[in-house]
Structure 1
């Protein structure tokens, strides 16, 4: 499924419900090239190029239901619940929407631990720079509305002591994530009985204060396979060891995409010391072999490139009693 901006998704939904729309959805390259030119699922209304119509109701409905209906309903419910204005003038990308949903469901924790606008922007909108909110006023206004504040405090917090949780009705195990991305679209994880935790990257202190009753489920760590991610894993593993609780790392598939550590925006570099100063006995022989390969080739594996659920199913983790 190709990700598209909310205003175009609104147009596709109008086509699904009414068979036509006046929204300028052909300004989207994917809709123009694939739905209009290639698949010919939509066309201009005869004699009126300001209206786009469906060419075949069943074919379009099948396509939309398979690719976009679930996503549309998910975000439409979010707009209704959150009170954020829902109209086709919003230029929210799908990544923007994911972040807004995350902010909404964690608004109390975020509001109580607010950073500066730039730090908040860089952390929550991971693939954008620290000036992202500054350059998107409508998105910033939505964020402020969700947080129920008038403006960001322009002082840095001394300590970040948060732990975000995506609950599910019948959790079978916990996955502790290094990055926020999994928590932004939690539906699939909830459907697979996974409770997600996030404590803020290198901010592992909140884990020290987790009570024993929250440690009954198996716990796994999902992270970038680079120096920072693996180093944080060792810190967390020690914290849980002190609680007499084991935690295991989610290992990528052998054919996982590898990136050079010098890639743009990536700051974690391997150390020149033996095994990059990582704690060897925190890893299995197979994991040590993979890490050694990454170190020698100066590469890393990004968390977001790994399919967490596919990996866990492949390792039969779902069958753990």
Structure 2
């Protein structure tokens, strides 16, 4: 079960780590209730008092491995940005990671600042174009980080950002359709991988990859839907002009496929033409087989549902 925690949950889990108990109301969260309490039995209610949750001995090592680094990163960031970090903040982990991303790429984002709805749909991709408008506290934090009073009313003519997790000594380059993979840079920088965001209309960024980096293996990670795979074909063509090969990262768990009509998803298959109109020559046999299966079932696989490091490892392990 994927963890979907709010900041108050992180604060309470840290309190459990420090004090071995908390009276915070956190069992409303499915991950905490179903995974940490019921399945793994890392937390338990105090005997005779269901308002207090206690940590079991195994919780400490689990917290060290799964939460400690993230909590410390988030705390330092919120304090450095002078954003309130008490448990009353309704930031989700996704929100905090996105705020960190905005801070990291502030100068680049400001160069071609878009309207709030375009900004929301691209930077808060999986949450839709009205996400920021509906969360005034989060919008205020975004504006504070960017140093703006509000978003512009019109989009710039040339809307293109260089959003990259650079590596001083890269071993491979991954081009990502989904901006979410760039939101935990401290995890990526330990690996020697370099990530470039090429989603939406941002594929022109490929022209800025220096020739010396094109000698490294290059991979593409995307949503397995018509839109994401169409971008792959466009990128593959661009790379071919540079005499560079690019490989598509194949999903490591196929049962992650979800219906095409899921929330905030606007890419549909064309059932009337082979491979939905995608260029058959761009895909290996098993890739084309998976695409046809997704078309038949009218499903897609969301890039963000997969861990980028696990995805890379799955596709490159011998």
Q: TM-score per shorter chain, which class?
A: 0.7 to 0.9
| Contact 1:256–1:306 (CA under 8 A) maintained in structure 2 | no
Pair 247,93 (structure 1): closer, same or farther in 2 beyond 3 Å:
same
Residue of structure 2 equivalent to 1:276: 276
- CA distance in 1 between counterparts of 2:94 and 2:178 reads 14
What TM-score do you get using the length of structure 1 for normalisation? 0.85
Q: Verify the 8 A CA contact 2:127 2:264 in the aligned structure 1.
A: no
Cα RMSD between the aligned structures? 3.0
Deviations 1:108-127 (A, max 9, x none): 11111111112212222223
TM-score (norm 2): 0.86
**Which residue of 2 is the match for residue 205 of structure 1?**
204
How many Å separate the matches in 2 of 1:37 and 1:6? 22
Question: Could you say what secondary structure the match of 2:175 adopts?
Answer: strand
Match of 1:285 in 2: 285
- SS at the partner of 1:176? strand
Q: Structure 2: give runs of 5+ residues left out of the alignment.
A: none
Structure 2 residue 22 is matched with structure 1 residue 15: no
Structure 1 residue 280: Cα displacement: 1.9
Q: Quick one: distance in 2 between partners of 1:186 and 1:96? A: 15
Deviation at 1:34, TM superposition (A): 6.6
Query: Per-residue displacement from partner, 1:62-111 (whole Å, max 9, x unpaired)?
Result: 34324321221121232244333322221101111121111111111111
What does residue 72 of structure 2 align with? 73
Measure the CA separation in 1 of the matches of 2:265 and 2:292.
Answer: 19
Contact 1:45-1:53 at 8 Å conserved across structures: no
Offset, 1:42:
5.6
Larger radius of gyration: 1
Question: After the TM superposition, which of the residue ranges 100-109 and 247-256 deviates more from structure 2?
Answer: 247-256
Q: How does 1:17-96 map to 2 (within 5 A)?
A: 17-19=18-20, 21=22, 23-25=24-26, 28=29, 31=32, 39=41, 41=43, 52=52, 54=54, 58-96=57-95
